[in-house]
Amino acid sequence: MSSIKESSSFVADPQLISELECCAKPAAPGPDGVLFRQGDEPKGVFIVHQGRVTLAMQTAAESAMNTRVGPGSVLGLPAVIGGQPYSLTAVAESGAVLSFAPKEDFVALMGSKPAMSFHILQLLAQEIRAARAVVSELVDAAQ
C-alpha cells in the first residue's frame, strides 16, 4: 500500500470556491466518512472548508494512490464534467467541514457563468499534473 501524501493539487482559486458556494449546501459525510467511492456515478462536487479528506485509488492488486487534501479543495470535478464514474474514493476525516454542489446545479452554474470555466480548467490541469507525478513514481518504483 502506498503512503499518504499531502497534496494541494485539488485546491481551487478562491473565486471559483465563491462561485460554487452559491449552489452548494452543507454536506455531512456518512458514518464511515465516505463522500464517494471509486466507480460511483457522479452526484456532484464537494468543497473542503475545514479538515482533511483522504483520496485513494484502488487497483486490482493494491492501493495505487493515497493523497490527503485540505481546505479549499474541490473534489469530484473530473467525474462530474466527464460524466464518468468517480475515479477515486474520498473519505473525510472526523470533524471535516464540507459543502456539496449537485451535478445539475454545477452544470447550470457553468452554463450561466462561462468565465468560471477557466478556473475549472486550471484546477483540472493541476489534478492531471498530480496524477502524472504519481504514475512517474510508480514507474520508477517498478524499475
**Does a structural domain hold residue 125?**
yes
3-state secondary structure of 124: helix
Tell me, yes or no, whether 110 lies in a domain.
Answer: no
In the predicted model, is pLDDT for residue 139 greater than 90? no
Q: Tell me whether residue 108 is in a domain.
A: no
- Euclidean distance between CA atoms 107 and 111, whole angstroms: 6
Edge-first strand order for the sheet with 53-58 is 5-6, 63-69, 53-58, 89-92, 34-36
The CATH number of residue 74's host domain is 2.60.120.10
> Is residue 31 included in any domain, yes or no?
yes
Residue 42 domain-assigned? yes
Contact of 139 with 100, CB cutoff 8 Å: no
Residue 7 confidence (pLDDT) = 66
pLDDT average, residue stretch 88-102: 95
Band of residue 84 on the pLDDT scale cut at 50, 70, 90: very high
Q: Is residue 74 in a domain?
A: yes
pLDDT mean over 114-125: 85
Asked, for residue 56, whether it belongs to a domain, the answer is: yes
Q: How are beta strands 53-58 and 63-69 bridged, if at all? A: antiparallel
In this structure, what C-alpha cell is assigned to residue 109?
A: 452554474
* Total structural domains within the chain: 1
Which residue range(s) make up the domain with 51? Answer: 5-102+115-142
Give the mean pLDDT of the chain: 86
Q: What is the pTM of this model?
A: 0.85
Residue 109 is assigned to a structural domain of this protein: no
Render the chain in DSSP notation, one character per residue.
-PPPEE--TTBPPHHHHHHHHTT-EEE---TT-EEE-TTPPP-EEEEEEES-EEEEEE-SSSEEEEEEE-TTBEE-HHHHHHTS--SSEEEEPTT-EEEEEEHHHHHHHHHH-TTHHHHHHHHHHHHHHHHHHHHHHHHHHH-
